[in-house]
Structure 1
Amino acid sequence: MIRLLVVDENDASRQSAATILKPFGFDVQMADNPLTALAACGNEMPRAMIVDGRLGSALELIVSIRAMPQGRTVRILYALDKADLRRLMEAKAAGADDFVLKPFEQKGLAQALADLKLEARQAFAVS
């Protein structure tokens, strides 16, 4: 299974992402703040992360993840409630790979994680 970490203060958002992604074979882990996310990454780096752009230190979290050993291998998605070019550029400069819109929808997450879904399905089929 492909490990994915959802970092969002909102429990409903974390649960929504998990509900959408688990059927695709993702092992969805959750963190409600950046410190918990950093601890989770220190234990085992996820293959992908979804970071809520409304977190007060979302950009600092992304920079910190990128600075960690294996931090460059993580696919980081920056979650926003609306497309905002300035915020997207800031996230990209911090190290985010792509963005997704909130509230989470299957189509948006599927597009952003398409190659990882294929990887997860292949791993799931082999198991």
Structure 2
Amino acid sequence: MKQLMIADSSDIVRKVGRKILSELDYEVIEAASARDALLQCDRKLPDFMIVDAGLDGALDLITNVRSIPDGKDVKIFYCVIEADLKTMMAGKRAGANDFLLKPFDRKILTQVFSNRAAA
């Protein structure tokens, strides 16, 4: 089973994401802060991460994950509220692979992650 981390300060976003992604056969772990996410990644890297752009230290989190041995193999989705090119480019420079628009819902998460669990 693939492991996915949701790093978001919102309890509701993490809870909704966990419910949907668990149904898609992911082991979902949560982090309410960038510090907590990095500590968990130091112990065991997830296969995927969803990092909220509004999370304090989000860009540093992505950069730090990339510097961990095998951190380059984590597929990181930078979650933005709107398709703002400046914010998206900052995420890309930090090391994000792709983007998710927030708020996400079942349809979006299913489209993005349903084929990845088996891969």
Q: Which TM class, normalised by the smaller chain length?
A: over 0.9
d(CA) in 2 for partners of 1:106, 1:99: 16
Secondary structure of the residue aligned to 1:116 is: coil
Q: In 2, are the aligned partners of 1:16 and 1:104 still within 8 Å (CA)?
A: no
1:13 correspondence with 2:28: no
Residue type of the partner of 1:25?
D
User: What does 1:13-92 correspond to in 2, within 5 Å?
Assistant: 13-92=13-92
TM-score (norm 2): 0.94
Give unpaired runs (5+ residues) of structure 1. Answer: 120-127
Q: In 2, are the aligned partners of 1:83 and 1:101 still within 8 Å (CA)?
A: yes
Identity %: 38
d(CA) in 1 for partners of 2:70, 2:64: 12
Give unpaired runs (5+ residues) of structure 2. Answer: none
Write 1 or 2 for the structure with the bigger share of helix.
1
**After the TM superposition, which segments of 4 or more aligned residues of structure 1 sit over 6 Å from their partners?**
none
d(CA) in 1 for partners of 2:111, 2:86: 22
Secondary structure of the residue aligned to 2:28 is: strand
d(CA) in 1 for partners of 2:55, 2:68: 20
d(CA) in 2 for partners of 1:101, 1:69: 29
Aligned length, in residue pairs: 119
Q: In 2, are the aligned partners of 1:7 and 1:31 still within 8 Å (CA)?
A: yes
Secondary structure of the residue aligned to 2:50 is: strand
Shift of 1:101: 1.2
Residue type of the partner of 1:99?
F
Cα shift readout 1:90-121 (whole Å, capped 9, x = no counterpart): 100110001111112122223333542333xx
- The CA RMSD measured in Å over matched residues stands at 1.2
Aligned to 1:124: none
TM-score (norm 1): 0.88
d(CA) in 1 for partners of 2:46, 2:106: 20
Task: Pick the structure with greater CA Rg.
Answer: 1
User: What does 1:91-110 correspond to in 2, within 5 Å?
Assistant: 91-110=91-110
Shift of 1:56: 2.0
